[in-house]
Amino acid sequence: MNQTGQFQLGIDIGGTFTDFSLSGREFRQLYVHKQLSTPDDPLQAVREGLGVLLSKAGVQLAAISRITHATTLVANAVLERKGDTTGMLCTKGFVSALDIGREQRYDLYDMRIEYPEPLVPLPLRREIDERINSRGEIETDLPEQEVLEAVRELNGRHRISSVAVCFINSYRNPVHERRAGEIIAREFPGISVSTSAGVLPGIREYERWTTAVVNAYSQSIFRTYLSELDAWLTNNGFTGTLHLLGSDGGVVNMDTARQYPVRMLASGSAAAALRCGQLDKTNAGSDLLMLDMGGTTAKLGIISGGKAQKRYDTEVGLVYRNKSGSGLPVSTPVLDLAEIAAGGGSIAAIDERGALKVGPESMGAKPGPACFGLGGEQPTPADANLLLGYYGTDSFPGGKLKSSSGLAEQVIAGNLAGRLAATVPRTAWGIYETVNENVSAAIKHYSAERGIDYRQCRLVACGGAAPAHALAIAGKLGMAQVIIPFASGVASAVGLLSAPVSFASKQSYRTALSGLSPEGFIKRFTELENSILRSISHEDAAAGKPETARRLDMRYLGQGFELEVSLPSGADMKSLYAALPDLFHEAYEKHFFTRFPDRDMEIINWKAEVTVAGTLPVDGCKPAGHSNGGASTGVRNVYSHKDDRFVEWPVVNRYALRQGEKFTGPMLIEDDECTAVIHEGDSVEIDDRLNLVASPVSERYEQ
Amino acid sequence: MNNNSLDIITLGLLWDRLISIADEILLALVHTSFSMTVREAWDAGAVIFDRSGRPIAQGSQSTPAFTGTAFYTIEKLLESYPAHSLEDGDVIITNDPWIGTGHIADVSVLRPVFRDGDLIGFVMTITHLVDTGGRGASVSSRDIYEEGLLIPPLKIYRQGRLNEELLDIIKGNVRAPEQVVGDIMANISGTYAGGVKLNEMLDQYEHDDLQDIADGIIRQSDTAVREKILAMPDGVYNNQLQAETRDEQPVTLACTLEIKSDRVKIDFTGTSPCVPYAINVPLCYTRSWCAYTLKCLTTPYLPNNLANVLPLDVTAPQDCILNAQHPAATLGRNTVGWYVAPLLMGAFARALPEAVQAEPGMATAVAFNGTLRNGGKLLDQYFATGGIGAMTGLDGRQTTPAPTNCAMISSEIWEDETDIAVLERRILPDSGGAGQYRGGPGQQVVLRNNTGHPISLALFGIRTEYPAKGYAGGRDGGLRAFRINNETVPGKGTHTLSAGGLFTIREAGGGGFGDPGKRPGEKVREDYRKGFITSTGAKQDYGIEIPEE
């Protein structure tokens, strides 16, 4: 086997499963693997899963040149409140900032809305008598002794493992935060420090401080994990580059990842979006609607022209009816995706109306759904899908995990069916349909918020659970086409193989355009780009010729919000400078249907992104898998809701399917990671890259 | 598509889309505004109407006061400019308090939307202007003429051509012409964007107009609202409360609520007369808070539209403070008008004791007027919020606006724009009313004048004498207070803050719900750990000793 170091590896740790992918530029084959996550020691699943994958492919770890890694570790720490004991130092007068919040109700009419508890409770916050004013001038010097005393006292009482330093106006002058960070790091090497302007140098203290607190809260968990991973890889002969995937779909190097875990908040779903991007490049046509559904949650996203939109604010840990506004605001670059609590491991229960509900609580990987036999005592969609016959006991999604229909039946009968006065299969079908309804409602909401007609989009099923639900959901929504990509059960891991190696940086420097010289303009961008180039490792720099993209956040003087203006690439800097007013007026008019040609404008943020390597073209890679024998592997009894009885559905091995083949449902298409459920009347065609392109029957659901 | 066959799924889609268009317009208004009140505090609204002027969708985060004014505003505007006389490219503007939102500071901008030459609907946006001339932001005005420039319904655009004369009149009468004109233009382009997007939507769905969508939206909503009212016990319920004024004498606000079958009648007989300064409330604003309260109690999960005001009759004696007539001064109409929500809630409490929320501490808007360090004009409003009331099963949240929903302004943005430093914003322990469910605590805000000049600040403070009432045995919330350099000052009026002077706002707490004796000890100790109550408060209100650490 080819061992020339041309291999690339993707690893995605999700709440329930850890997924792997392997390919290479010359290799032209794609190996994948799915392994149950091990939340208590995430590395365990990585070690075991990598072992299986590498031996399957016959490749040594030493032959891997690049690993791109996504993980939900950070989001889970916040969601489940399992992060570090974190302290907070803030400017005198602002100890209540986390309690006071945004002072706005996120719903006008609902009097029962709830808000999340702050990650740092009041007893772990300390005020420091320092102050920098809004012009960035020092008003009250930093009392260094007071800082040390505060940390010593917090540590003595509460054993803090990290601290967030949150000072007012630090976006303008971070010197006090920086100094406090330095002396804490010196005196308390065991405590990790996050400074708010270091995490995000933007104005608006509440959002900046919450972001810094989330960063601090997840820092030592994440650091420990990364060090262990790094050490293990090195000990096993890995000499290549390890990158993390940032929430915006760009890679992050190890140093940055250690310092700013908050940037990895949504890295798993960013990876799935990259996978959809791979499809869109060749599947020219309408926009894609990504449904990335794993064990814990489902994510939605619109992929247009191969890319998801970027945004700079998100929320983590929604606490009320999944409503935006009910979580902790985090300002960090992310893809514009929505998350809903609907996964294969979501808990099905009876709510106060006496009706069935699924989620938002989840069994996660441990103990997982009841049918895993790992001690789960709550029914989940995975249990339901097993009882309905969609999943087989020997071919359960997740690397052929053995599963027990007896255990599934026990929890569904005991917890639900009795109280609903329904049969077990009928109850299981109710769970399946409830998940489909929840996801459909979320898709409607997500598209409405963005003014998109989802019926014009193609639904892409990513993640272990999506292929079982996607056609039913698309049928409900009247969507004409569903794509179930090859290796859809590990879509995020495959997406990681095409993560562009690019590094971005942003600098806040506010200047009126009338006061900016061409030299000043050129100098600022040159400095920014040089600082990025300096942070790129030799390995990365060697990967290709750097390409630079430049953007500015601008506004009319006197406004409070900026508009991002992309500067055309290829133009020389002098003519770019001359074109700035027109570029802004045009961008503004496009967005807001008006322009103010006589007004001065100002630049708020300067952004540059240097891309040093293109993506691995996964499309051309031949999927590796067993394809011995025919496609048919037999039949399975599947519950028919219409007739209230079990009927035989054909079961097909996905690895044996060939381009151009066409089928009509009902049928089940299985691979090692997932099962695609093709309902009666749905049609499926296999495309040139072995993706399933399916058309659901929509009348099925019309009453 | 055949318009008669609008199925419920398509209706749902189009309905969501209309709201999303209204949300987009609102967001664009906020993002393009030159006024801090609009862009930080969201003092703005966006509404879409069908061609007969029925409101069918509203920006989700519009100021709640606009929930019930828009349908009336458009009615009055179309009296001046009948729909059949309007042409594509026309835009009507007004800030008449009796037509718009109850005070001169809000400008309403209405654009008819055409499709292939036919009128299909209207888009309206509303924002709070930084200045309208006159005395400026002050409750001292004795009548509307002192409050500045009143723009009657006029066309600011006629067939796509700007009425420059009108714009010049506005420019010549306000303190910050650049900002005011910028914001008016943002409203105009917001309504334009709305029209473009409505047409795009209809193109996509191959639909000729909005009428069947509007019919469907109103039919579905109306059924839902009426079902909820039908389920309420019929009867006549009264309530009254008092609110502080600038005089020794408080005003009395009284209401009679009649629930009968699927209709709700509200009458304000017994309410005190108008006063000779700017806290009088036009009926449109009073009605709006009635609609808002009804919505909270009936269909909080449904989007707002005309259906919410259909089952509602609101009457008030002429010249009572809740039905002020021209030329009464109304700039601070919210300081009395906000009370309409808790006043009604108290009446509903007699019918639906488990559904209501104890009274809120409400919020403060302080209007600053002066000169910046660099010589520029300082003209900004600072917002601070008290705690909200508790209800069955739910403590009131701290520092949250109610019934209004103006967001706080980030301290850093505030300092950057005003040269007024924010020295402190801390939760005020024990300010939330005790109860089985605790009222939300308020906060203490301390500001310092760093402009280098004396500045004036106009206060519209409420709950300085009459606290937020607790319900069902819950206690009242703490009072609001204002201090200049540690001296308490009256809650309504204009004061001077010297250079370097300190201004303190102590925000009121929300009322508690239920007997404090029923609050579990663990909850009381948790409140103590969170800094929401002191150990003294724990002992006095709940009889629980908290050991000193």
Q: How far is A206 from chain B (nearest CA, A)?
A: 7
Q: How big is the A-B interface in CB pairs under 8 Å?
A: 175
Which of B125, B373, B412, B513 is the best residue to mutate to test the A interface, defined by the most A CB atoms within 10 Å of its own CB? Answer: B412
Q: Omega of the bond prior to B403 within 30 degrees of 0, cis?
A: yes
Calculate the average pLDDT of chain B: 93
Q: Which of A93, A115, A123 sits opposite B425 (nearest CB)?
A: A93
Q: Which of A122, A563, A591 sits opposite B530 (nearest CB)?
A: A122
pLDDT at B94: 98
pLDDT at A281: 65
Say if the Cβ atoms of A168 and B407 lie within 8 Å: no
Kindly indicate the confidence band of residue A14, based on its pLDDT and cuts at 50, 70 and 90: confident
Cα distance between residue B394 and residue B401, in whole Å: 16
**Neighboring chain B residues of A554 at a CB cutoff of 8 Å:** none
Say if the Cβ atoms of A111 and B357 lie within 8 Å: yes
Cα distance between residue B467 and residue B477, in whole Å: 6
Interface residue B400 vs chain A (CB under 8 A): yes
pLDDT at A374: 84
Reported as half-sphere exposure (CB side, CA atoms, 13 A), residue B50 has a value of 17
- Is pLDDT of B5 > 60? no
Kindly indicate the confidence band of residue B443, based on its pLDDT and cuts at 50, 70 and 90: very high
Query: Considering only alpha carbons, which residue of chain A is nearest residue B294?
Result: A109
State the ipTM, two decimals.
0.93
pLDDT at A395: 67
B523 CB-contact burial (10 Å; exposed 0-12 / middle 13-18 / buried 19+): middle
- Is pLDDT of B294 > 50? yes
pLDDT at A615: 63
A450-459, B113-122, B221-230: least confident range: A450-459
**Neighboring chain A residues of B408 at a CB cutoff of 8 Å:** 100, 102-104
Say if the Cβ atoms of B16 and A444 lie within 8 Å: yes
Region A529-540: mean pLDDT is 77
**Neighboring chain A residues of B406 at a CB cutoff of 8 Å:** 104
pLDDT per residue as tens digits for the range A318-327: 788 767 888 9
Percent of chain A having pLDDT more than 90? 53
pLDDT at B16: 76
- Is pLDDT of B425 > 90? yes
Q: Which of A105, A121, A444 sits opposite B401 (nearest CB)?
A: A105
Region A236-241: mean pLDDT is 92
Query: Considering only alpha carbons, which residue of chain A is nearest residue B440?
Result: A100
When computed from its CA atoms, the radius of gyration of chain A, rounded to whole angstroms, is 26
Kindly indicate the confidence band of residue A283, based on its pLDDT and cuts at 50, 70 and 90: low
Say if the Cβ atoms of A592 and B186 lie within 8 Å: yes
Say if the Cβ atoms of A111 and B416 lie within 8 Å: no
Kindly indicate the confidence band of residue B242, based on its pLDDT and cuts at 50, 70 and 90: very high
- Is pLDDT of B86 > 70? yes
pLDDT at B371: 95
B76-85, B377-386, B503-512: least confident range: B377-386
Q: Which position has the higher pLDDT, A559 or B355?
A: B355
Region A271-299: mean pLDDT is 84
Helix (H), strand (E) at residue B264 = strand B263-267
Say if the Cβ atoms of B197 and A111 lie within 8 Å: no
In the structure encoding, which two tokens stand for residue B304, read together? 């707002």
Kindly indicate the confidence band of residue B1, based on its pLDDT and cuts at 50, 70 and 90: very low
- Is pLDDT of A594 > 90? no
Query: Considering only alpha carbons, which residue of chain B is nearest residue A120?
Result: B530
**Neighboring chain B residues of A445 at a CB cutoff of 8 Å:** 16
Region B193-201: mean pLDDT is 91
Q: Contact, A46 vs A229, CB < 8 A?
A: yes
**Neighboring chain A residues of B33 at a CB cutoff of 8 Å:** 559-560
- Is pLDDT of B525 > 90? yes
Kindly indicate the confidence band of residue A79, based on its pLDDT and cuts at 50, 70 and 90: confident
Quickly name the fold that domain A83-218 has: Rossmann fold (3.40.50)
**Neighboring chain B residues of A95 at a CB cutoff of 8 Å:** 426
Q: How far is CA A241 from CA A72, A524, A543, A613, in A?
A: 21, 30, 11, 13
Q: Which position has the higher pLDDT, A483 or B5?
A: A483
Domains A83-218 and A501-614 share a fold: no
Q: Where are the domains of chain A?
A: 7-78+224-264, 83-218, 346-433, 501-614, 626-671+673-701
Kindly indicate the confidence band of residue B492, based on its pLDDT and cuts at 50, 70 and 90: confident
**Neighboring chain A residues of B189 at a CB cutoff of 8 Å:** 592-594
**Neighboring chain A residues of B385 at a CB cutoff of 8 Å:** 103
B60-69, B250-259, B359-368: least confident range: B60-69
* CATH of region A7-78+224-264: 3.30.420.40
**Neighboring chain B residues of A585 at a CB cutoff of 8 Å:** none
- Is pLDDT of B445 > 60? yes
Interface residue B501 vs chain A (CB under 8 A): no
Say if the Cβ atoms of A560 and B36 lie within 8 Å: yes
Say if the Cβ atoms of A107 and B411 lie within 8 Å: no
Q: How far is CA A400 from CA A33, A45, A675, B156, in A?
A: 10, 15, 11, 69
Q: Which of B295, B397, B399 sits opposite A109 (nearest CB)?
A: B295
Which of A134, A440, A588, A598 is the best residue to mutate to test the B interface, defined by the most B CB atoms within 10 Å of its own CB? Answer: A134
pLDDT at A557: 86
pLDDT at A621: 66
Could you say which DSSP state residue B468 is in? P
Kindly indicate the confidence band of residue A353, based on its pLDDT and cuts at 50, 70 and 90: low
Kindly indicate the confidence band of residue A533, based on its pLDDT and cuts at 50, 70 and 90: confident
Query: Considering only alpha carbons, which residue of chain A is nearest residue B61?
Result: A108
- Is pLDDT of A429 > 70? yes
Cα distance between residue A342 and residue A361, in whole Å: 9
- Is pLDDT of B482 > 70? yes
Cα distance between residue A112 and residue A129, in whole Å: 38
Q: Omega of the bond prior to A485 within 30 degrees of 0, cis?
A: no
**Interface subset of B 431-490, CB within 8 angstroms of A:** 443, 446, 450
Say if the Cβ atoms of A591 and B357 lie within 8 Å: no
Say if the Cβ atoms of A121 and B529 lie within 8 Å: yes
**Neighboring chain B residues of A447 at a CB cutoff of 8 Å:** 16
Query: Considering only alpha carbons, which residue of chain A is nearest residue B298?
Result: A109
Hunting for tokens 């109409």 — which residue is that? B333
Q: How far is A670 from chain B (nearest CA, A)?
A: 33
Region A584-601: mean pLDDT is 87
Q: How far is A190 from chain B (nearest CA, A)?
A: 27
**Neighboring chain A residues of B34 at a CB cutoff of 8 Å:** 556, 558-559
**Which residues have C-beta within 8 Å of that of residue A213, sequence separation ≥ 6?**
A86, A88, A98, A118, A119, A120, A164, A166, A194
Q: Which of A103, A121, A168 sits opposite B408 (nearest CB)?
A: A103
Region at A59 (left for phi over 0; alpha for psi -120 to 50; beta for the rest): beta
- Is pLDDT of B4 > 50? no
**Most confident of the following: B37-46, B139-148, B499-508:** B499-508
- Is pLDDT of B243 > 80? yes
Could you say which DSSP state residue A115 is in? -
pLDDT at A1: 43
A266-275, A395-404, A680-689, B218-227: least confident range: A395-404
**Interface subset of B 253-292, CB within 8 angstroms of A:** 292
Q: Contact, A380 vs A344, CB < 8 A?
A: yes
Say if the Cβ atoms of A103 and B400 lie within 8 Å: yes
- Is pLDDT of A696 > 50? yes
CA-wise closest residue to A416 among A344, A350, A342:
A350
Q: How far is CA B453 from CA A348, B278, B482, B505, in A?
A: 64, 27, 21, 21
Please state which architecture CATH assigns to domain A501-614. Answer: 2-Layer Sandwich (3.30)
Reported as half-sphere exposure (CB side, CA atoms, 13 A), residue B435 has a value of 35
- Is pLDDT of A701 > 50? no
Which of A91, A92, A94, A104 is the best residue to mutate to test the B interface, defined by the most B CB atoms within 10 Å of its own CB? Answer: A104
Kindly indicate the confidence band of residue A630, based on its pLDDT and cuts at 50, 70 and 90: low
Which of A92, A111, A477 is the best residue to mutate to test the B interface, defined by the most B CB atoms within 10 Å of its own CB? Answer: A111
Q: How far is A417 from chain B (nearest CA, A)?
A: 30
pLDDT at A440: 86
Query: Considering only alpha carbons, which residue of chain A is nearest residue B204?
Result: A453
Q: How far is A420 from chain B (nearest CA, A)?
A: 26
pLDDT per residue as tens digits for the range A38-52: 888 999 999 999 999
Q: Which of A204, A444, A596 sits opposite B410 (nearest CB)?
A: A204
pLDDT per residue as tens digits for the range B145-174: 999 999 999 999 999 999 999 999 999 999
Kindly indicate the confidence band of residue A638, based on its pLDDT and cuts at 50, 70 and 90: very high
pLDDT per residue as tens digits for the range A133-162: 999 999 999 999 999 999 999 999 999 999
Kindly indicate the confidence band of residue B6, based on its pLDDT and cuts at 50, 70 and 90: low
Q: How far is A208 from chain B (nearest CA, A)?
A: 11
- Is pLDDT of A399 > 60? no
Say if the Cβ atoms of B391 and A111 lie within 8 Å: yes
